[in-house]
Each structure stands twice: as structure tokens, then as C-alpha cells.
Amino acid sequence: MSPGSIWPVVLVLLQPLQAGAGPLTDERASDFVRALIDERDRLESFAHPDELAMSGRLGIRYLGVDHKFLISYDLDSTIRARVDPGRAKQAIQPVDPEHNVARLVLTFPGTPDSLSFLFEDSLLISPLRYQTRGWKVIESEHFRFIVSDSASLRDYHVTNLERFFEATATRLGLSEDDRSLLARGKLNYYLCANGAEVQRLTGYSTLGMYNLAYDAIITSYHAHYHELVHLLVNFKLRALPLYTHSLLQEGLAVALGGRGGKEPGPILELGHYLFASGMLDYRELCSDSAYDALDPSMSYPAGGLYSGFLLEFMGLEGYLELYLRHSGGAETVRATPISDSELPPDRAWQEYLRTAASRTALRAGCSVDSGARVLERPHATILANRDRYCFSIRDTLLLLPDDAWRDFRSEQFVLMFGDRPYGGEKYAVVADPQEISVYNLYTGNLIAKCVAGFLIPPTPFESVDEWYLFSIPKPVFEEEL
């Protein structure tokens, strides 16, 4: 998402702000427009102090951005440069007269773009507070969850995100002081029921995103690791430009957090195929514009694998140094490719590719006699040795049912099985001649996958007497099966 793009924005308030402050007047609106266009040092005087505190609570700032709370909600600088405040057209629309809530709609000569801001008691605030009024707030050590449906957030989800935070904070070298600051300020996690709710909060048609203005994750995923990595990297750096080369920014988030309902393992294995098959060369990712021109189904897996290599080869400090070197204004980032001299030697990358092939989590084929029998059903058998489970299944296997989860709505279960009754199972393992997949039904994430077409050479999975055989490392699962 382009942080500087213009869309019809709604900024609103949850609680009444100042007794007797009154509704938004034409005079107050005109004063705000003057500040928005010409007198920008006055903009913060229009914002509620709580909004400014929320925006600044983690100490993250963007170089060249004077008003962080307006990121992606602001008037584009190119429009400001050619618009006289007196020529901007404004309209005040009542929204909730009882609480002095009104929408200010602005249009500008020579552009089809418009902005809309909501004021309450003549003060400007964020869309998050208004759109989430009445949502339940749950706090853990490092997170503040703002939840549309409180029944959808379980202790497991909170613990799972805290566990991911701890692992990622360690990878990023966050100090005890850093962790204490995050414990005080909290990582705000807005858990929405669906994409429509995410769009109401963000203005974007997406299932989840990181809001830079308020350092918040706004998502319909119970475990949106990717966006959380973005937030933690920005927190690690504290002060950084608004734009970063996509290979480094998105690649790191994929390497550590996966993307959009898929954990890192399955995505990085696709990235390995794209490189090992010759479909992509890492040099194609070194231009930001070329990276963005690729289909995301290719650029994200490939960028994730190569960024993981860079992180391993350069170390964290070296990676972040490269990250900042290729951060800046949007045009500068797009015009400045990563050069060969900044990257590890090609032979190191080729060796990494060879070793990455041996890291494959899910492997087709295994011996049905290789280990102790841990599960026996008419349609499935699981054996266990020291490191891996050997599966032999007909097509679908649901594992670890829990009565306490029967009333949980697993969106992934519904997507896979429709109206079939849900028994609170945690894992779904699905096999057919083309792919084998493993899902965590509590988070909805794909946690392991092997695709026949991505093997080199492509090889459909064979079944033995209509049984599919494959093995999975034990750490893919969170507990003993």
C-alpha cells in the first residue's frame, strides 16, 4: 500500500471530547483547510491529544513526515503546492448530531480526488476509534487486542502472538528496554470479523495491513505475523524514511512471518522452486519497480527466500544497513536498484539454494514401518521417529479435536469443508495427487505444503493402494501428536 496515496478518509472520535465545544462550524472547517494546505505547523492543534499520544506512543517516526497521525490520510503535497485554501470546496455533513459528529468533505480544483474527515466536538481523530466503538479490548503483556467479536479471540491466539513476538524480538535484537516500552505502549491488534470490517477501518480492500499512522495491525487474521514483522522492524529502527525497497521490506516480513494466511515454510519453499527451476533470478528482484511489476505470487516467495539468505549471510546489522541505504522518498527508492557490489557473491547464494532444498518441511514418500505407531484409524496411520512423523492417509485427516473449540468459527474449516460440523479440531491434513497441505484451523494458517508441480522435475504424488505417504518434521506441530 502506498502510504502517501489519497482516498476518501474518515477520521472520527469515540468519546465526547470537550463539554460545550459544539458542532463543527464553517469557520472552524475553513481554519482547518488553511492549516492543511498552508499553515501546517498548526495541524496538531486540531487533533485530540489522545490521538497524538497513540500515534507517538512507540517512538517510531518517519524522516520528512511532520504529522505522523495523518500518514495516508493527508493532502498530497503536489496538490497543496497548487491549491489556494480559498478555492478548496468544503461541505459539512451531519453524521451524529447528538454527539456533535460531522463529516467535512473537501474537493480541490483540477483533481478528482477528495478527502473526508470526521470531527467530533470540532476535533479531529482517527477512524479506528469511531469504527471500533463498542468493540472489546483485551490486553496481554505486549498486545492490546481490539476485537469485533470477542468470542473469536481465545487465550490460545493471545499466547500464540506473544510467542511469535518473543521469537521475532529476539531475531531483531530488541533490548529489555525496547520490550518494556512495547509492554507499556502495546502493539495494537484490531481483529476484524472479515475483509469488509478491515476496509471500514482502513479504506483499503484487504484482509489485513499495518497502519503506519497509529502503529496498529488491522486484520481479519488471528495470526497476521507478516504485518507484525513490519511493525517490529520499524520499531527496531525507530527513525526511518517512509519508503523502502520492496525486496528488503516485504522480503524480510515474508522470511520471518510468511504472508496472508501462510506461514514462512510453505511460501519459502515456493520461492526455492522459482529460483531452482530457473524461472527467476535474484537480480530481477533488485530493482524496486521490477519487483513490483512481478505478480505477488512470485515476488513475495522469491523475495522472502532471498531476504532470508541475506539475513543469514550479512547478519542483522548488515541487513538493516542495506535496508536503510535503500529507504527514502518513493521516487528515489524506485530509481535506485540494489547493485551487485552490495550483495553477497553468487556462489554463496547458489550454495544456500542447495542447502535450502534439504530443509523441505513436507516430503513425499516415507516408510510405513519407520517409527512407533501414534495413530491408527480406518483412513489414516501416523508413525513417529525421533524427528519426523510419517503419514499414511486416504485424503483428509483432522487431528486433535477439543470440545472447548466446538463453538469456535474456524474460517479455514468453513472454506475447506463448508457446512460440515466442526469438532474443534486443531489441524487439517489434506492430500491428493497434486498437493499435500497442513493447516492450523485455530489460526487459519497454512503451516506446511508440498506441491507436485513444484518438485524438480514435477512429479505427481503416487498413492500406494490409494494411500498417500509423506513425512513432516515434528516442529511443524505445536505439540506431540
Helix (H) / strand (E) element for 453: namely: none
Residue range 302-326: mean pLDDT, rounded = 98
Q: Is residue 256 within 8 Å of 248, Cβ to Cβ?
A: no
Residue 190 has pLDDT above 70, yes or no: yes
Q: Which pLDDT belongs to residue 369?
A: 66
Q: Which of 50-64, 107-121, 287-301, 401-415 has the lowest mean pLDDT?
A: 107-121
Could you identify the residue written with the cell 508413525?
A: 383
Q: Where are the domains of the chain?
A: 26-131, 134-240, 262-359, 363-476
Q: β-strand 239-240 against 61-62: which pairing, if any?
A: parallel
| Whether the predicted model's global pTM rises above the 0.85 cut | yes
Check residue 34 and give its pLDDT. Answer: 93
Say whether 274 sits in a helix, a strand or coil.
helix
Specify the CATH number of the domain 134-240: 3.40.30.160
Q: Is residue 331 predicted with pLDDT exceeding 60?
A: yes
Locus of grid cell 528496554 = 177
d(CA 227, CA 54): 18
Rounded Cα distance between 411 and 301, Å, is: 24
pLDDT tens digits for range 117-159: 988 889 998 888 888 989 999 999 999 999 999 999 999 999 9
Per-residue pLDDT tens digits for 253-301: 999 999 989 999 999 999 999 999 999 999 999 999 999 999 999 999 9
- Whether the CA torsion 17, 18, 23, 29 is positive or negative: it is negative
The CA distance from 4 to 7, in Å, is 10
Q: List helix spans (H) across 294-337.
A: 296-325, 330-335
H or E element that contains 139: strand 136-139
Task: Quote the cell numbers at residue 155.
Answer: 487465550
Whether the predicted pLDDT of 215 surpasses 50: yes
SS3 78: helix
Give 359's pLDDT tier (boundaries 50, 70, 90): low
Burial of 372: CB neighbours in 10 Å, binned 0-12, 13-18, 19+: exposed
Check residue 368 and give its pLDDT. Answer: 58
Per DSSP, the residues of 9-73 read -----SS--STT--S--HHHHHHHHHHHHT-GGGGGGGB-HHHHHHHHTT--EETT-S-GGGTTT
